[in-house]
Amino acid sequence: MRKAFFADASPAAQLVFTAFVMLVSMAFFLVLGVSLAIPLFGLDPERLQEALALSGPENAGLSNWLQTLNAIGFFLVPALASAWLLSARPWHYLGLDRAAALPSWLWVLAATLGAMPAVNWLLEWNMALDLPDGALEDWLRQMEDKATAATLEFLDDPRLGVFLFNLFMIALLPALGEELLFRGVFQRVFVRWSGNAHAGVWMAALLFSAMHFQFYGFVPRLLLGSLFGYMLVWSGSMWLPIFAHLVNNATAVFFYYQVALGRMDEQANQIGMSGQGSWMVIPSVLMVAASLWMIRRAEAQNARRFAQA
């Protein structure tokens, strides 16, 4: 069997090594992306910085290109490379070699969609937080506004081709890359470091939320990260959190596509917030709890059947 170079390293060393792989991969894909963008998009090398700073529909192709390579270079490739160097069985290490029970997929769908009112309620609460440092709060809100504007720039387009590409870039790539990295690598290392599955789930979820660099969405993203983490812990299959992440992001992409087509009102995405079905928050929490319990039960039964086979 192949020997993994860092399999016997301490958890702290494995974390530092994974962070190093992320930085190297990000730098490589950034240079690659910009270098290839010059001939692909006809950019003037002498005015490259100016071209990269542009926003709007006229620069959508370049933005999509760089965003896609960033998702691959910062999440997907480091996850695969780290798993290969941390384990002699990287597919098993990442939880990709285990199929989940069929009922679990349905309960993951119920948990992810059912969580939306509670997530929106938490988002509204998080956005209303005031920080004691006014300058810091202004800077964080500016970052949040820029991130939101950049995302809406991708989504506010009624063309079917753009919608399908957004599903790939905003839903599929993050579902694969972020779950493989945060749940497949970081959560496993944190569990080994702490000796406790619950601690590992929450530490990975904390890192997952922090690395999005959006303070005013930190708490709901933390809770979503923990939801994905428990799906992995109780099933042993990475495919469930990948599916949950995909459903969560794809639902948002589909909603904004319907808004761009004029078929839905933007307020429909605020269910769970004040005046928009906030009564649904408690049923939402109960739905998530019940779905997680059913996933754990279905996977326990699946494991027993597998052991008896």
The reported pLDDT for the residue numbered 213 is: 83
Domain match, 240 and 273 both:
yes
Residue the block writes with tokens 């020997």 = 3
Among 45-54, 92-101, 145-154, 289-298, the range scoring the smallest mean pLDDT is 45-54
Domain match, 140 and 71 both:
no
Domain match, 261 and 140 both:
yes
Domain match, 55 and 110 both:
no
Looking at the 3D structure of the chain, how many domains does it have? Answer: 2
Domain match, 72 and 106 both:
no
Domain match, 26 and 81 both:
yes
Average pLDDT of the chain to the nearest whole number = 89
Domain match, 136 and 35 both:
no
Is the pLDDT assigned to residue 226 strictly greater than 70?
yes
- End position of a domain, from candidates 75, 93, 111: 93
- End position of a domain, from candidates 44, 62, 93: 93
Query: Distance between the two ends of the chain, CA-based, in angstroms?
Result: 26
Mean pLDDT within 204-211? 96
Domain match, 106 and 88 both:
no
- End position of a domain, from candidates 93, 125, 148: 93
Asked whether 235 and 299 are in contact (CB, 8 A), the reply is yes
Mean pLDDT within 136-143? 76
Domain around 86: 1-93
For 93-129, the pLDDT digits (tens) are: 999 999 899 999 999 999 999 999 999 999 999 988 8
Domain match, 179 and 115 both:
yes
For 50-94, the pLDDT digits (tens) are: 766 666 666 778 888 988 999 999 999 999 999 999 999 999 999
Domain match, 130 and 221 both:
yes
Domain match, 113 and 79 both:
no
Question: Does the pTM exceed 0.85?
Answer: yes
Domain match, 87 and 101 both:
no
